[in-house]
Chain A
């Protein structure tokens, strides 16, 4: 003590001369009570905070809606050289907000790239109107054979591939099938610039070429086809 250094204290309460110390006791009762009270408080807070957080985020992140096939008309309605608009219901029960327009045509052997991956060779192409810049609704202009976005000037060619402007990837598509002469539209999927399919569709502005497909992983909240 005289040289300014303190003797290292023993870890045993008995050695430190504490009243009522037990043989081999290292945790003082004050420390024990403090830890107990803090622990009890932490448990009490977690008991309401964790369920509340799970409630707020759980269904938003992990609820996977089922795939719903919607009939959009007989097969002869859809030519292979232009698009026919049809309205789909993406979320039921909320009116206009839950609806989206989709442009549909028959598969065109000359214009369409081969199915990628092979096996997905639908006879009808359903192109989403969701602009892949930031999600505004594009419209198909038949005179130009192009999709044009009103917000920031995105332009897509007849297949939905980016022709100009800020979009980062081709327009999303929907799985299609034919049942009883009716064209049906299923879940949305995304494609990269080689038209490779990404079944868990990505939000607009998420690049899917190169490193983009790893930076923007698929989510747990998109309907699953396979």
Chain B
């Protein structure tokens, strides 16, 4: 119980400032003000603060734990792949005669080339592992159930696209291992009845592994699939934001006898 303070005598009360003699504006406040003004300027013209609030300030169920970070981990693995991939493309040459040499050049000659190529190479493995762990989390927590089935379906498509990314990217170093692995992979694809042989022709750009196979794989790897993956990640995140996350299955649903007291 807090008692109200007695009123101060008039003489002791702080005097209101006279107009025109306000405090000097500090530089930090000026910067802050400029930032706020800029954000306001953009917000006034786009109304983006509503959607941003909708995305960021969401209700999260009790029991949310570290397993719930696997989705973001996958997202950041993808971002890392995207950034390193874009910069690798600045040095890489997707031609049958120069691909191996340019990959060797990246690793051996370019400053930080070995590091960035290593990030892309090991990052791809990491992304596949994270995708699978994320999927396992969703499965074992029952987070694929109503109303989140569509998000599961999108996730499965993303899983397949991630595998296709790994497959097409594997050819690009163009050494013996990637060459024969691609031969084997395309032939596995060809075992699909009726459509398989023609799909293999489409992948190779003809009946034989030829002059355009590498550039085909390169175009699929760095133009076709990233666009599809980015679009689907957008849909995936939209649904996560819209539907929210699930509580872990070991938490029981609260009984429906109205609102509990401590939450009033």
Using CB atoms and an 8 Å cutoff, list the residues of chain A in contact with chain B: 56-57, 59-61, 63, 65, 90-91, 93-95, 97-98, 134-137, 151, 201-206, 215-217, 219, 221-222
Contacts and interface: CB of A to CB of B under 8 A. Distances in A.
Residue picked from B184, B202, B204, most chain A C-beta under 10 Å:
B184
Interface stretch (B29-37, B126-134, B157-165, B208-216): B208-216
Contact of A215 (B96, B193, B205): B193
Contacts of A56: 202
Contacts of B200: 203
Contact of A98 (B188, B191, B198, B210): B210
Nearest to A201: B207
Contacts of B46: none
B211 A93 contact: yes
14 contacts: A56-B202, A57-B202, A60-B212, A91-B211, A94-B210, A135-B183, A136-B184, A203-B200, A205-B188, A216-B190, A216-B196, A217-B194, A221-B201, A221-B207
A131 to B, nearest CB: 9
Contact of A203 (B194, B197, B211): B197
B152 interface: no
A56 B205 CA distance: 8
Contacts of B96: 94-95, 97
Given A91-B210, A95-B96, A134 B183 contact: yes
Contacts of B183: 134-136
Nearest to B210: A91
A51 B7 CA distance: 84
The A contact surface, by secondary structure, is loop
B206 interface: yes
Nearest to A62: B201
Nearest to A93: B211
Given A97-B96, A97-B179, A61 B201 contact: yes
B67 to A, nearest CB: 38
Contacts of A94: 96-97, 210-211
Nearest to B204: A60
Nearest to A60: B205
Interface of B: 96-97, 179-180, 183-184, 186-188, 190-191, 193-194, 196-198, 200-202, 204-212
A85 B254 CA distance: 76
A202 B205 CA distance: 15
Given A134-B184, A203-B187, A203-B190, A217 B197 contact: yes
Given A94-B97, A135-B184, A151-B184, 19 more contacts: A59-B205, A61-B202, A65-B207, A91-B211, A94-B211, A95-B96, A134-B184, A135-B180, A135-B186, A136-B184, A137-B180, A201-B207, A203-B190, A204-B190, A205-B191, A206-B191, A216-B194, A219-B198, A219-B207
A171 B212 CA distance: 26
A57 B200 CA distance: 11
Contacts of A217: 194, 197
A137 B176 CA distance: 12
A61 B197 CA distance: 10
Contacts of B193: 215-216
B187 A205 contact: yes
Given A94-B96, A95-B97, A151 B187 contact: no
B71 to A, nearest CB: 33
A65 B183 CA distance: 20
Contacts of B205: 59-60
A91 B186 CA distance: 18
A61 B198 contact: yes
Nearest to A61: B201
Contacts of B180: 135-137, 151
A138 B83 CA distance: 40
Nearest to A100: B208
Given A94-B96, A98-B210, A222-B207, A204 B187 contact: yes
